[in-house]
Amino acid sequence: MTPPMITGLGLHKRFGSAVALGGVDFSAAPGESVAVTGPSGSGKSTLLHCLAGIIKPDAGEVRLFDERVDSLSERQRSHLRRSRFAFLFQFGQLLPELPADENVALPLMLGGDSRPKALEPAREWLGRLGLAGKEDRRPGELSGGEAQRVALARALVIRPAVVFADEPTGALDRATGDQVMGVLLQTVAELNAALVVVTHDPLVAARCDRTVEIRDGRLFDHPMAGARR
């Protein structure tokens, strides 16, 4: 078995008296896609945020390969989030005043690349995701599916180790959502990245290698679901 890329062990997190995670173990291997399902308020986003080093769990540990993520300083975690992790949300959270190529180039520029150096791979990713010719469009001049593919290009441009997606197709119609999910799975496989995708949609989950369910802050495996391999 391939050793896991991202691992959470014994994760606990409470917000006041609310237990968001009550002892969760989770791992994903390179190239593996894992769907996280479960009712609203069950702890799905909290799990994603703990794994990605956005919030610190109250107890338990998170590792990227052998490196502890949860015990890093805020500065180190922020560097890790910029260099090794990618995020995709329901609404792409693109910067409305920037054209598509600059939106995609942004993470590279934040990492220290010059504008021309960052724009080259940015435009390449836009082309790979079927957006050639739309590099100059601002998010408001793109359809929902196109904007989400720009957000995907921006997520992938740093060649992340792990892609975290929280309801990435939640705001799209079925056909567009299928298409975005298709390019997401394909590109993650090409990069040999791990994908952790929160979704309410059983059809999205079924396209992943594996599905886990969170209920009341506890994680359950779904041995039958998502048997793509």
By the criterion CB under 6 A, which residues form the site for ligand ADP?
15, 18, 20, 38, 40-46
- Residue of minimal CB distance from Mg ion? 45
Written as six digits, the tokens of 198 are 């929160």
**Gyration radius from the chain CA atoms:** 17
Q: Exposure of 189 by Cβ count < 10 A (0-12 exposed, 13-18 middle, 19+ buried)?
A: middle
Q: What length does the chain have?
A: 229
Q: Residue 7 or residue 42: which is nearer to ligand ADP going by CB?
A: 42
Q: How far is the CB of 214 from ligand ADP (least distance, A)?
A: 6
Q: Which partner from the list ligand ADP, Mg ion, none does 43 bind, CB cut-off 5 to 8 Å by kind? A: ligand ADP
Q: Where are the beta strands (DSSP E) in the chain?
A: 6-15, 18-28, 33-37, 59-64, 67-68, 85-88, 162-166, 194-198, 210-215, 218-222
CB of 182 to ligand ADP, least distance (A): 24
- Alpha-carbon distance of 149 to 142, in angstroms, equals 10
Q: Which does 20 bind (CB under 5 to 8 A by kind): ligand ADP, Mg ion, none?
A: ligand ADP
Residue (45 or 199) nearer to Mg ion, CB: 45
How many angstroms separate the CA atoms of 33 and 95, rounded?
Answer: 28
> In this structure, what DSSP letter does residue 3 have?
P
Residue 195 beta carbon to ligand ADP: minimum distance, rounded to whole angstroms: 17
- 17's contact among Mg ion, ligand ADP, none, with CB below 5 to 8 A by partner kind, is none
Least separation in angstroms between CB 3 and Mg ion: 28
Closer CB to ligand ADP, 3 or 41, in the complex: 41
